[in-house]
């Protein structure tokens, strides 16, 4: 069982119990977030493709930790001009753990 989920403008392959490294999210360790933009869902028995999202399906995840990546050095230079600029950058990211998927209740308009 797995799914493809759109989260913060990126797509991730999600399985129950998996840990994902995603762009920084505001929150502390232990906070619960909901991933409700499911693009594709595959179970042992059936496959569901969203148009654009699968209706009535979402995943719950908990924030494990907030970290920063290794430093990336950005070096700019223009030859024969005496211009050199060196910068460093550390991107922040969040580790989340997928707890389980939850089927949301359908509204009356969606059932018809």
- Domain membership of residue 55 (yes or no) is yes
Distance from C-alpha of 101 to C-alpha of 60, rounded to nearest angstrom: 6
How many domains in the chain? 1
- Domain membership of residue 34 (yes or no) is yes
> Considering only CA atoms, which of 67, 64, 8, 76 is closest in space to residue 37?
8
- Domain membership of residue 59 (yes or no) is yes
- Domain membership of residue 110 (yes or no) is no
Note the pLDDT of residue 7.
93
- Domain membership of residue 109 (yes or no) is no
Q: Is-cis flag, bond preceding 52, omega within 30?
A: yes
Residue 46 has pLDDT above 80, yes or no: yes
- Domain membership of residue 112 (yes or no) is no
Note the pLDDT of residue 23.
95
Residue 107 has pLDDT above 60, yes or no: no
Note the pLDDT of residue 112.
44
Note the pLDDT of residue 111.
46
Pair of tokens at residue 5: 């989920």
- Domain membership of residue 111 (yes or no) is no
**Full domain range(s) for residue 99:** 2-104
**Its pTM surpasses 0.75:** yes
- Domain membership of residue 54 (yes or no) is yes
């Amino acid at each position: 069982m797995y799914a493809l989920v759109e989260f913060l403008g990126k797509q991730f392959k999600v399985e129950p119990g998996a840990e994902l490294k995603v762009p920084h999210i505001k929150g502390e360790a232990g906070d619960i977030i909901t991933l409700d933009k499911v693009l594709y869902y595959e179970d042992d028995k059936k496959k569901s493709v969203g148009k654009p999202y699968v209706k009535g399906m979402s995943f719950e995840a908990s924030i494990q930790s907030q970290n920063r990546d290794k430093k990336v050095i950005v070096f700019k230079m223009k030859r024969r001009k005496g211009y050199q600029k060196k910068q460093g950058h550390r991107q922040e990211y969040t580790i989340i753990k997928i707890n389980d998927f939850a089927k949301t209740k359908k509204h009356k308009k969606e059932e018809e």
